[in-house]
């Protein structure tokens, strides 16, 4: 059962010299108790898609079409008060940089209690006990002591655990994890991803994982959507995706992995990703695609089911 359904989302940015489309008919579903990975290069629109779900967008961003359903309601039609109730309590965000996501002027306990006491249903004692409990759940040692420390006294991995604890405290149905392992060393990355996976399993939490790391995707994701320049170009269940990768861009990403090269020279994708100001007719990957055929690729390929619920947007596969 899907918890979030994004249907044909279109978004543009207003710049000084015009309005530029950034997301093109983005559609994806996030199922209950699953990790859905949204994969692609930096600047392809992953984070903008995620921020659209909770409408935390810059002032010059304009949603020009589409729908985002959560629990049967179109989020794009909610007013500010309804959105405020939704954020944190139902849909929680783990932002990219744990180093700057906590307020340096308040203790960990202050910030965690602010989240827990938001609905006003718990006494101060019960709220405190709840805060200690969620710190224990995210494997923070000596949680009562950690309630009294300030963010600068914690490592990056511990800060990320505190942010995850805030999501657990509200029993959010959905966690948007936007590059949750950024700026963390490899060992800590593995710990954070295992923690998120444990939360998914134990609490049936749905997680939208924004990443460019196919290694993490291969280990933890249940479903994968590949995005290129504002479009979803491939979507499949994990096993199907990795055993039967279809889109030329997805294949290029796979071929660029060190484990997939037979020699010491890493394979790269020729050219550069387009900016939002680049006008490209048809498939936006066509200028970099080895299979490009101008007779068909100058029209936009629809995202089509090629069997086994494996959706691909390409004329040539």
Q: Give residue 167's pLDDT.
A: 87
Query: How does DSSP classify residue 285?
Result: T
For residue 7, what is the enclosing H or E element? strand 2-15
Q: Give residue 260's pLDDT.
A: 61
Report if residue 56 sits inside a domain.
Answer: yes
Q: Give residue 263's pLDDT.
A: 64
* Domain ranges, residue 233: 2-312
59 CB-contact burial (10 Å; exposed 0-12 / middle 13-18 / buried 19+)? exposed
Report if residue 301 sits inside a domain.
Answer: yes
Write the CATH number for 143: 3.40.50.300
Report if residue 163 sits inside a domain.
Answer: yes
Q: Give residue 97's pLDDT.
A: 75
Q: Give residue 226's pLDDT.
A: 98
Report if residue 60 sits inside a domain.
Answer: yes
Q: How many domains does the chain have?
A: 1
Burial 141-174 (b: 16+ CB within 10 A, else e): eebeebbeeebeebebbbbbbbbbbbbbbbebbb
Report if residue 62 sits inside a domain.
Answer: yes
Q: Give residue 141's pLDDT.
A: 93
Q: Give residue 26's pLDDT.
A: 97
Q: Give residue 264's pLDDT.
A: 66
Report if residue 159 sits inside a domain.
Answer: yes
Of 90, 81, 88, 77, residue with least CA distance to 4 = 90
Of 98, 121, 102, residue with least CA distance to 110 = 102
Report if residue 22 sits inside a domain.
Answer: yes
Report if residue 317 sits inside a domain.
Answer: no
Q: Give residue 303's pLDDT.
A: 96
Q: Give residue 189's pLDDT.
A: 85
Contact 182, 54 (CB under 8 A): no
**DSSP letters along 68-99, please?**
EEETTEEGGG--HHHHHHHBTTTEEEE-S-TT
Enumerate residue ranges in the chain where pLDDT < 50.
none
């Amino acid at each position: 059962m899907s918890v979030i359904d994004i249907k044909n989302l279109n978004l543009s940015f207003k710049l000084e010299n015009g309005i530029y489309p950034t997301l093109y008919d983005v559609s994806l579903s996030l199922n209950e108790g699953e990790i859905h990975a949204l994969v692609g290069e930096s600047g392809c629109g992953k984070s903008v898609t995620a921020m659209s779900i909770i409408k935390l967008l810059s002032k010059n961003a304009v949603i020009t079409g589409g729908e985002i359903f959560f629990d049967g309601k179109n989020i794009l039609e909610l007013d500010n008060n309804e959105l405020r109730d939704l954020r944190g309590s139902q849909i929680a965000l783990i932002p990219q940089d744990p180093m700057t996501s906590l307020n340096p002027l308040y203790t960990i306990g202050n910030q965690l209690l602010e989240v827990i006491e938001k609905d006003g249903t718990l006494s101060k004692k019960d709220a405190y006990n709840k805060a200690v409990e969620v710190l224990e759940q995210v494997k923070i040692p000596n949680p009562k002591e950690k309630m009294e420390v300030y963010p600068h006294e914690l490592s990056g991995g511990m800060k990320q655990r505190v942010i995850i604890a805030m999501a657990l405290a509200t029993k959010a149905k959905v966690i948007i994890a936007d590059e949750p392992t950024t700026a963390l060393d490899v060992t800590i990355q593995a710990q954070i991803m295992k923690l998120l996976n444990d939360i998914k399993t134990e609490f049936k939490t749905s997680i939208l994982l924004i990443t460019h790391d196919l290694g993490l995707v291969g280990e933890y994701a249940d479903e994968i959507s590949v995005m290129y320049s504002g479009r979803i170009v491939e979507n499949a269940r994990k096993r199907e995706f990795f055993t039967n990768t279809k889109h030329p861009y997805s294949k290029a990403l796979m071929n660029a992995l060190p484990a997939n090269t037979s020699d010491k020279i890493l394979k790269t994708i020729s050219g550069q990703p387009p900016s939002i100001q680049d006008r490209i007719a048809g498939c936006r990957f066509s200028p970099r695609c080895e299979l490009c055929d101008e007779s068909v690729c100058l029209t936009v390929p629809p995202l089509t089911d090629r069997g086994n619920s494996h959706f691909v947007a390409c004329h040539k596969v």
